[in-house]
Structure 1
Amino acid sequence: MYPHLLRRPYAPLAVLATAFLFLGFLSSTHLRAESTNRPNIVLILADDLGFSDLGCYGGEIQTPNLDALAENGLRFTQFYNTGRCWPTRGSLMTGYYAQQIRRDFLPGVPSGGGNRGLRPDWAVLLPEMLSEVGYRSYHTGKWHIDDTPTNCGFEKTSLNQTGRYFKPKNGPNGKPIRPLQFDDEFYLTSAMADDAIRNLKEHAEQHPDQPFFQYLAFTAPHFPLHALPEDIALYAETYKSGWEAIRRQRWQRMQAMGLLDPQSADRVSAVERDLGPPYHFPEAFEILGEGETNRPVAWNQLTDKQQQFQTTKMAIHAAMIHRMDIAIGRVLDQVRAMDRWDDTIVMFLSDNGASAEIMVRGDGHDPAEPPGSALTYLCLGPGWSTTANTPFRRHKTWTHEGGIATPFIISWPNRIKDHGQFRRNPQHVIDVAATLLDLTGATHPEDAPPPPGTSFLADLDDASSADERTLWWYHDGHRAIRRGRWKAVSPIGEPWELYDLSVDRIESVDLALPRADKLAELVAAWEKQLEESIELATGDLAEDVRGKQVRSTRQSDMMSKAQQDGRIKRSQVLPNGETFFVAGRHAFLMKPDSAADAKLRKPWIFYAPALSRYPDTHESWMHQQFLDAGVAVAGIDVGEAYGSPHSQPFFDALYDEMVSRGYSTKPALLGRSRGGLYVSRFAIERPERVAAIGGIYPVLDYTSYPGVERAAAVYGVSADDLQRRQDELNPVKKLKVIAEAGIPAYVIHGTDDRVVPIDRNSAELESAYQSAGSADAITLERVDGQGHNFWEGFFRSQKLIDFLITEAKGD
């Protein structure tokens, strides 16, 4: 049983003995008798295919064979991968999370990508398990798992090639001729189909009574973008309209076919203009030239050269998928020719979402050669990757939906009757092995721990309702967990976000603040799974083995730097500032060289909004005046909280942090624009902690900005409720708390402000003070003729600056 145990020198003797005994009792005749009614299996894996690239998932690329497979089978709309190639392959072939079997990084555990990180003995692959019930298994294409296919249960393997799609000609010494020349008759995707067809023909001739398992792992459309000239020509004009137009068209087709539940996705995600490749290699852009861009900027902002270059890249990407579909059709025709189509289950999926990567590897890139030919090295990049992953956010390596959602098609004529229907339950690549074992009767080894994968065999018959199962991700420092409709996700170095996927599959409204309880539950579950995975992955390792190999689990210095350089940078302008985390959120502190003498410990100003880009350059002069006066400035990023009461615990956390560092227990508050909602909330909730309030055209009424529709989600209520409950929730309705406390205030606001009208905001604050008999405590400086703009007088108002310094110092 499980011959790999015979090959590995560290297999326990007891296991070897059991294996020999079992093999002695098991004859090939017995296996054939058991396997008579078991279906054949064709498992097809694409590489870096986007969620919307196929015609049957909304794409414009011609994929008639996969479309027909979907039309006569099922399409899954919430099927997940691991976000990266090698972890997905390990999970697909075992039914375990890649981290559990040492095929992806865990702290302190020897693991890694490529062929690093040996699996535990119990983590056998599908072909070994299927062989126990009579299957013969064949591997074609990419491997990216430890050991070799033929050592892991496959009878045959071939074309485990990456790096190029065209085959170099070899010289007399067996090495490629230099300069490189290429075989005109070879294209890797087509060669993979040839190999799979040979496997099937030989199986039909030599083993007609046994079921087969053909694992066909394409490299397409993974970079480098290489395609046949005739295929590229088919798409030469298709993408000239640009990535926004193609994305919009794909979304319209998705809607027309009812692919996604309209409640969960009623639009495409916003394009993250500042997010580029996951790893930044600046030398690649020098090689690729001025046509390349590493950001998904608006198409109309690209130069003519850039538009032409990007159009060509997407044409090659489409051509690669087009040719892969032709190759798949040829393989499926062979199954039909063997008269085995009705009893063959075909599964198709991708190992991760489309890739935003841009790099040059191997023999480099020759810009003089035709794009897509053998001596070129192009990558899709973030502009088209955003389109390929329509309608989701982000790309390969990330754990947002764009990185981990995959098309998944199943065909099985003898079983599936709901032709062309959708299945909307969340599933994962760990479920593929569980399903195939379920339908064949094969099992994991007796000593294997319970796998996390679950069979979706029942979903083939009817669209059963989803349960509250938990799915878990961890790759490149990106974390995610899904339980039922809730998903928590955290990019490396960033706070946890929370989304309700039943109404927000595009991950647009972060509910981390209003549903902090749910987020805490999911984060605790993520941590628990991490601990359990570490325990499982290290159970068979001696301490000295862990110590020797742990260094290989981390990225190289080069890749770590490239990832760091590729991350979105916070563009806050912070003179003499430092950044840190408070309560899991980004915070900052601008410190004076020496604190001013003050009655209330070290003086400071609480600034809002502290978003990724605020404070900005317009306030830097003003902030320098505070620092020169010995007054610190601090803030905490609670996202677009819009004055929600749910932001208050984080304001309290920053306050406690500052007090613990020796700063005043009564800071002054300064709110710019939307920051007025933040500081007014703090003052309403904690008036005894406030020395004064300053404002630059501050928002105080959420109905004026951002409006109840946008603010409702972070308040944790519906828009109707937020409108109805203004007396309870809208800061402008509770300004009397501030006024009655007599907190000194100085506000500057333009009379022509159309974004934040003065009469609905700052004038309401003045009126509250007047009604409370505290008119002397407030100054509203009305600036005639100014709107919501960057007029220098807003940011260099000496009166406002002096007021805040004086009040912060307690003078």
Structure 2
Amino acid sequence: MSTRFPRRPIVTQAVFATAFLFTLCVAPAVLRAESTKRPNIVLILADDLGFSDLGCYGGEIQTPNLDALADNGLRFTQFYNTGRCWPTRGSMLTGYYAQQIRRDFLPGVPSGGGNRGLRPDWAVLLPQMLSQVGYRSYHTGKWHIDSTPTKCGFDKTSLNQVGRYFSPKLDANEKPKQPLEFRDDEYLTSSMADDAVENLKEHAAQHAEEPFFQYLAFTAPHFPLHALPEDIAVYADTYTDGWDSIRKQRWQRMQAMGILDPETANRVSSVERDLGPPYHFPEAFEILGEGETNRPVPWNQLTDKQKSFQATKMAIHAAMVHRMDIAIGRVLDQVRSMGCWDDTIVMFLSDNGASAEIMVRGDGHDPNEPPGSALTYLCLGPGWSTTCNTPFRRHKTWTHEGGIATPFIVSWPNRIKDDGQFRRNPQHVIDVAATLLELTGATHPDGAPAPPGISFLADLDAQHSAEERTLWWYHDGHRAIRQGRWKAVSPVGEPWELYDLSNDRIESVDLALPHAEKLAELVAAWEKQLAESVELATEDLSAQDLSKGSRWTRQSDVMSKAQQAGRIKRSQVLPGGETFFVADRHAFLMKPDSPAKSKLGMPWIFYAPALSRYPDKHEQWMHRQFLNAGIAVAGIDVGEAYGSPHSQPFFDALYDEMVSRGYSTKPALLGRSRGGLYVSRFAIERPERVAAIGGIYPVLDYTSYPGVERAAPVYGVTPEALEQRQQELNPAKNLNVVAEAGIPVYVIHGTEDRVVPIERNSAVLESAYKSAGNEAAITLERVDGQGHNFWEGFFRSQKLVDFVIDAAKGD
């Protein structure tokens, strides 16, 4: 890539002499005070490393060199990447969001990954900026940025290789022999260390008067899982207990170390058992065989063959990290041997979280070859990726914490005095360039726009109270934004979620309902940053460039279809149904072929709960009866709202949508189990809109289920407040509104229900009707001997079905 900003010479002898004194690699004690102004830099980037893979972050993998680096430096606990390899690299080496420099997708903008030459001229890389102040720069390893390293300021580059870790033997024409044969004397991770060491030796011999910047970009532990046999042997028996056990052990070590503030995470995230790889390639599973699985199911549900296969994969992953640590140790030893250790800042991080991907490409996979060898092609998969990203949710490509949180270690003996301490301020890879520029005195080119990266140099001295800042993500359709303690995140094609990271770093309790105003504020800020990024990324483009950009898509057709196939499927059973969004929430409508007539519009039933898996197969018979009678059924997914008043605006939105389509202004309500809290909330808030209420063992009292501890967050209050404010907030305490309105009710409930006791729920509703003098309007069918189960009588009650049909029709 051409640039308008070539290397600038140091213009005076005095400045040159000062730089010489600041950076000379001699005994550290001699020039200690001055040398900290312009240190040498070693920036090490791992690929697809999980947050908890390293020993110093709670992992069981042997990483003594990185552990020592952490013990004598700092560990950052809220450091972020972009969620993917090429955006992280572009952001880290420029200080801008990848979208601003056309290194990740923006709508209508020619942008992307790989080696496409797309960066604006002002978006120069770190080595070009460091050259202003006399640095020599060396690149080793993976590139994945546009242009080439030596055209972007690096004085030397090598080993830009991906797709395999073992080097093929070459024929007389210097081409890989066919069929492929591999050398047994070279392993890519070790070769990268060889190259970096050689760079440093050459620098010491020929350029000792100049400071150096060594950028070491490992491919490990990115797939394919290739490792040296002796390293795999170290971990041969480590993972046979399975991913559930290893995840628990990692979390226990993390707690003992204090990696995360206990107020932000007091447990691990729940495993998303239905979430597999971000892209589904079914042909890979035919090649890999019956040992592979694409879901993080409980370990004890795997077959023996699967357990063996999966344990072996993780052993190879561990071996790759193990060998990378050995390689890093050799590079750091070289720095020490040069007398430069105290005056060198070392940074280590990962480009994204561990990967749940499963595919076969490159040299292919031969199941008859030893796992981890050159002709095998294995990927970690979601079971172990969930463990590697302990305690966070999701994986590489997603913008939940598991995809974007990275271990980040900084060592600088001449500057850092809080050896082994943590730094807990939120930081991002855009801050790496800002920090290195501040400490070296280098700058962005004249005329370059202000970068979003902020230097964390002050954090190297002591933890300080950082001002609230905004961090932004957009990759593969996944969106996120963080402002202070609040984070909004939206997987591709899914509603926005909201989390308070000050007490929920594992993103377990979605606060989108009780804090709808805060969510709207964050979403508006996300959209504003998107618009500003588009403006910045297009200001130097011609009309012809923009015309081309308008035809760009976020992914190829192949990857788009694979991502769509990989998304979690909603398992609702919806005869004659369609799905759509209302108020940015999933909604459904089951429509009859011939709608019944009603004075108030086409009759319909408001059903709850409308979660991802509800309604399910147990209600299918019942819903077909409704459809055959000309009655539509609709619902909206507000998550685990537990009858919170904050769900009402979304119920109103569904109601308005249905009325706008010509449906009745007085639907019947039908609540199953927890759905009782949903429909009772609607009836309490809008009794004039309700024709009748039907229920199957409905929950009406949140203290019986789910309990105040679980319900409190979505009510937006503390558990203590939710307990104390029942007269105001608990549907069970406000059923008099429904009873006094005389809304007809038919409820069926088992007398032996221990999950939703009849006495604290349906019987309370019956009592409210008696007190209101409307006892004739309610029928409570008590089913002796039945509990909270799938007894057919609950779901094939003709009396309940006929009652709801008649009410919906207005009969």
Instruction: Report if TM-score (shorter chain) is over 0.5.
Output: yes
What one-letter code is carried by the residue in structure 2 that aligns with 1:48? D
DSSP 3-state at the match of 1:458: helix
Distance 1:384-1:28 versus aligned 2 partners, 3 A rule: farther
8 Å contact from structure 2 (residues 476, 554) kept in 1: no
Provide the rounded CA distance (Å) in 2 between the counterparts of 1:70 and 1:328: 13
What one-letter code is carried by the residue in structure 2 that aligns with 1:486? W
For 1:659, the equivalent position in structure 2 comes to 659
8 Å contact from structure 2 (residues 347, 408) kept in 1: yes
TM-score computed with the length of structure 2 as normaliser: 0.97
For 2:450, the equivalent position in structure 1 comes to 450
8 Å contact from structure 2 (residues 435, 456) kept in 1: yes
Per the TM alignment, residue 750 of structure 1 is displaced from its structure 2 partner at its CA by 0.6
Per the TM alignment, residue 551 of structure 1 is displaced from its structure 2 partner at its CA by 3.6
8 Å contact from structure 1 (residues 393, 507) kept in 2: yes
Once the two structures are superposed, residues 737-790 of structure 1 have per-residue CA deviations (whole angstroms, 9 ceiling, x without a partner) of 000000000001011111101111001000000000000100011111111111
What one-letter code is carried by the residue in structure 2 that aligns with 1:381? G
Provide the rounded CA distance (Å) in 2 between the counterparts of 1:343 and 1:388: 33
Per the TM alignment, residue 578 of structure 1 is displaced from its structure 2 partner at its CA by 0.5
1:742 aligns with 2:727: no
For 2:559, the equivalent position in structure 1 comes to 559
1:680 aligns with 2:680: yes
For 1:26, the equivalent position in structure 2 comes to 11
Once the two structures are superposed, residues 585-640 of structure 1 have per-residue CA deviations (whole angstroms, 9 ceiling, x without a partner) of 00000011121011211100000000000000010111111111111000000000
What one-letter code is carried by the residue in structure 2 that aligns with 1:337? S
Provide the rounded CA distance (Å) in 1 between the counterparts of 2:381 and 2:550: 32
DSSP 3-state at the match of 1:75: strand
8 Å contact from structure 1 (residues 466, 484) kept in 2: no
Provide the rounded CA distance (Å) in 2 between the counterparts of 1:550 and 1:98: 19
8 Å contact from structure 1 (residues 110, 117) kept in 2: no
DSSP 3-state at the match of 2:407: strand
What one-letter code is carried by the residue in structure 2 that aligns with 1:544? Q
For 1:189, the equivalent position in structure 2 comes to 189
For 1:328, the equivalent position in structure 2 comes to 328
Provide the rounded CA distance (Å) in 1 between the counterparts of 2:779 and 2:113: 62
For 2:72, the equivalent position in structure 1 comes to 72
What one-letter code is carried by the residue in structure 2 that aligns with 1:635? G
For 1:538, the equivalent position in structure 2 comes to 538
What one-letter code is carried by the residue in structure 2 that aligns with 1:26? V
What one-letter code is carried by the residue in structure 2 that aligns with 1:43? L
Provide the rounded CA distance (Å) in 2 between the counterparts of 1:154 and 1:552: 31
8 Å contact from structure 2 (residues 19, 210) kept in 1: no
Deviates more, 1:552-561 or 1:646-655: 552-561
For 1:134, the equivalent position in structure 2 comes to 134
Per the TM alignment, residue 182 of structure 1 is displaced from its structure 2 partner at its CA by 1.0
- Please list every run of 5 or more consecutive structure 1 residues that lacks an aligned counterpart in the other structure: none
Provide the rounded CA distance (Å) in 1 between the counterparts of 2:249 and 2:13: 54
Per the TM alignment, residue 29 of structure 1 is displaced from its structure 2 partner at its CA by 7.9
For 1:343, the equivalent position in structure 2 comes to 343
Provide the rounded CA distance (Å) in 2 between the counterparts of 1:113 and 1:777: 65
8 Å contact from structure 2 (residues 65, 326) kept in 1: yes
Provide the rounded CA distance (Å) in 1 between the counterparts of 2:493 and 2:532: 23
Provide the rounded CA distance (Å) in 2 between the counterparts of 1:436 and 1:734: 61
8 Å contact from structure 2 (residues 116, 147) kept in 1: no
Provide the rounded CA distance (Å) in 2 between the counterparts of 1:28 and 1:378: 56
Provide the rounded CA distance (Å) in 2 between the counterparts of 1:507 and 1:534: 29
Matches within 5 A, 1:582-601: 582-601=582-601
Provide the rounded CA distance (Å) in 1 between the counterparts of 2:670 and 2:347: 58
Q: Percent identity?
A: 83
For 2:261, the equivalent position in structure 1 comes to 261
Per the TM alignment, residue 175 of structure 1 is displaced from its structure 2 partner at its CA by 1.0
Provide the rounded CA distance (Å) in 1 between the counterparts of 2:115 and 2:554: 14
Once the two structures are superposed, residues 529-562 of structure 1 have per-residue CA deviations (whole angstroms, 9 ceiling, x without a partner) of 0000000000100111121244444311110000
Provide the rounded CA distance (Å) in 2 between the counterparts of 1:576 and 1:592: 7
Provide the rounded CA distance (Å) in 2 between the counterparts of 1:618 and 1:669: 18
Deviates more, 1:81-90 or 1:787-796: 787-796
Provide the rounded CA distance (Å) in 1 between the counterparts of 2:582 and 2:553: 29
Provide the rounded CA distance (Å) in 2 between the counterparts of 1:538 and 1:660: 40
What one-letter code is carried by the residue in structure 2 that aligns with 1:664? S
Per the TM alignment, residue 27 of structure 1 is displaced from its structure 2 partner at its CA by 6.5
Matches within 5 A, 1:521-536: 521-536=521-536
Provide the rounded CA distance (Å) in 2 between the counterparts of 1:539 and 1:643: 49
Matches within 5 A, 1:418-497: 418-497=418-497
Per the TM alignment, residue 34 of structure 1 is displaced from its structure 2 partner at its CA by 3.5
DSSP 3-state at the match of 1:183: strand
Distance 1:450-1:695 versus aligned 2 partners, 3 A rule: same
- Please list every run of 5 or more consecutive structure 2 residues that lacks an aligned counterpart in the other structure: 23-34
Per the TM alignment, residue 320 of structure 1 is displaced from its structure 2 partner at its CA by 0.2
For 2:228, the equivalent position in structure 1 comes to 228
Once the two structures are superposed, residues 360-383 of structure 1 have per-residue CA deviations (whole angstroms, 9 ceiling, x without a partner) of 001200000000000000000000
8 Å contact from structure 2 (residues 113, 146) kept in 1: no
What one-letter code is carried by the residue in structure 2 that aligns with 1:690? V
For 1:612, the equivalent position in structure 2 comes to 612
Provide the rounded CA distance (Å) in 1 between the counterparts of 2:280 and 2:12: 56
8 Å contact from structure 2 (residues 108, 552) kept in 1: no
Provide the rounded CA distance (Å) in 2 between the counterparts of 1:309 and 1:213: 41
What one-letter code is carried by the residue in structure 1 that aligns with 2:11? L
Provide the rounded CA distance (Å) in 2 between the counterparts of 1:175 and 1:285: 31
For 2:638, the equivalent position in structure 1 comes to 638
8 Å contact from structure 2 (residues 232, 316) kept in 1: yes
8 Å contact from structure 2 (residues 117, 147) kept in 1: no
Per the TM alignment, residue 325 of structure 1 is displaced from its structure 2 partner at its CA by 0.2
For 1:517, the equivalent position in structure 2 comes to 517
Matches within 5 A, 1:756-771: 756-771=756-771
Per the TM alignment, residue 525 of structure 1 is displaced from its structure 2 partner at its CA by 0.3
For 1:88, the equivalent position in structure 2 comes to 88
Distance 1:95-1:553 versus aligned 2 partners, 3 A rule: farther
DSSP 3-state at the match of 1:605: strand
What one-letter code is carried by the residue in structure 1 that aligns with 2:350? S
8 Å contact from structure 1 (residues 31, 132) kept in 2: no
Once the two structures are superposed, residues 703-731 of structure 1 have per-residue CA deviations (whole angstroms, 9 ceiling, x without a partner) of 10001110001000000111111111000
TM-score computed with the length of structure 1 as normaliser: 0.97
Per the TM alignment, residue 446 of structure 1 is displaced from its structure 2 partner at its CA by 1.1
Once the two structures are superposed, residues 422-453 of structure 1 have per-residue CA deviations (whole angstroms, 9 ceiling, x without a partner) of 00000000000000000000000111100000
Per the TM alignment, residue 31 of structure 1 is displaced from its structure 2 partner at its CA by 4.4
Task: State the aligned residue count.
Answer: 796
Per the TM alignment, residue 116 of structure 1 is displaced from its structure 2 partner at its CA by 2.4
Provide the rounded CA distance (Å) in 2 between the counterparts of 1:466 and 1:505: 18
DSSP 3-state at the match of 1:311: helix
8 Å contact from structure 2 (residues 134, 211) kept in 1: yes
8 Å contact from structure 1 (residues 110, 553) kept in 2: no
Per the TM alignment, residue 113 of structure 1 is displaced from its structure 2 partner at its CA by 1.4
Provide the rounded CA distance (Å) in 1 between the counterparts of 2:116 and 2:352: 20
Provide the rounded CA distance (Å) in 1 between the counterparts of 2:633 and 2:662: 14
8 Å contact from structure 1 (residues 112, 553) kept in 2: no
For 1:145, the equivalent position in structure 2 comes to 145
Matches within 5 A, 1:402-421: 402-421=402-421
For 1:808, the equivalent position in structure 2 comes to 808
DSSP 3-state at the match of 1:263: coil
For 1:503, the equivalent position in structure 2 comes to 503
